[in-house]
Structure 1
Amino acid sequence: MSKLRIGALPDDKPVKLTTELPASVHRDLVAYAEVLAREAGQRIDPLKLIAPMLARFMATDRGFAKLRRASYSKGISEG
């Protein structure tokens, strides 16, 4: 079994967004859901993967984390 970056999908109250994806990104998202479904043994809705993928991306983006920490500590020192 391969190690995918997205694990179990959390049960959380969603915020609805509407967006457009390039066709190639949508095809990859569907393909990713199919691979994950085979590994999990259950059907996976490709749309349900977008939020955990974005969360994972932001959590592992060192530049974003650094700027976020700097912004947070600046806010504390001012307040």
Structure 2
Amino acid sequence: MTKLKLGPLADDRPAKLTIELPASVHRDLMAYAAALAAETGGPPCAPEKLVAPMIERFMATDRGFRRHRPKGS
């Protein structure tokens, strides 16, 4: 099995954000939640719990964004 980019999700205080996603993206989030649960041995999480860690991971690995990000952030 291929190792997923996301690991166990941190229980962090959320900020409320409402977005609309295409149905195909929602299906993929549900499939990712199931794959993550199989990899970590836990129950599948709600798809909306994956969005923030995925965006965080994306921004952390985006070299262009890191160049423009304020120092100390």
Q: What range is the shorter-chain TM-score in?
A: 0.7 to 0.9
What is the deviation of 1:2? 2.4
TM-score by length of 2: 0.86
The gaps in structure 1 that reach 5 residues or longer are 74-79
Runs of 4+ in structure 1 deviating by more than 6 angstroms, as ranges, are none
| Max Rg structure | 1
TM-score by length of 1: 0.80
Give the 3-state SS of the residue equivalent to 2:15 in structure 1.
Answer: coil
Deviates more, 1:41-50 or 1:16-25: 41-50
The gaps in structure 2 that reach 5 residues or longer are none
Identity fraction in percent: 63
Aligned position for 1:65 = 66
Q: Which amino acid aligns with 1:4?
A: L
Aligned position for 1:26 = 26
Counting helix residues as a fraction of each chain, which structure ranks higher? Answer: 1
Q: Distance in 2 between matches of 1:26 and 1:42?
A: 20
Could you report, residue by residue, the CA deviation over 1:9-43 in whole angstroms, capped at 9, with x for unpaired residues? 11111001111001111111111001111112222
Q: Which amino acid aligns with 2:18?
A: T
Aligned residue-pair number: 70
